[in-house]
Amino acid sequence: MITVRTYKYDGALHRQWRAQIKRRRGSLLVLDAMFEEEIDHQILGKIAYGTLSLEFYWLDRWYNIFRFLHPAGGIRNYYCNINVPPVLQRDGLSYIDLDIDVLVSPDLTYEILDEDEFDENAKRFNYPLEVRRRSRQALNELIELIESKRFPFNGLK
């Protein structure tokens, strides 16, 4: 088991949870996690205890992808985060969350979230131009993956 930690750009801890490394291939790291309590999420609604999360991290990409599965099976939705590429250490994985998210339904329709929060925090924390550019590039890459139904939006693990 490892601990996944997300931080805001100013270094403040945002969230953390435990996960199991399922597979590592090249820069791709796939983790299994389970919600250990029921969560009321502002956008996702109620996430039941036992909801499974298959998490896809690339150590060289500016995004990650979570595939949420209902406790009884079946895809609930995908949730994608724009972030600074994660760092894997002995006991954990950490990354800086850059605010923009993409919510993807099982039918692969999607909604881009929190672009206003990204703009506000880019000013507040003075995101370097390169961070702003890479964030927009990552968003475009994610949309291309979704629309072309490529891994991991093709249902493969």
Along the chain (157 residues), what's the average pLDDT of each consecutive run of 10 residues?
94 91 96 79 72 92 93 87 96 95 95 95 96 98 97 80
For 60, the 3-state DSSP assignment is coil
pLDDT at 156: 61
pLDDT at 157: 58
| Domain residue limits, the chain | 2-147
Distance, CA of 98 to chain centre = 10
Alpha helix (H) ranges present in the chain? 115-124, 129-147
Residue with tokens 């339904």: 105
pLDDT at 62: 98
Q: Which architecture does CATH list for 2-147? A: Beta Barrel (2.40)
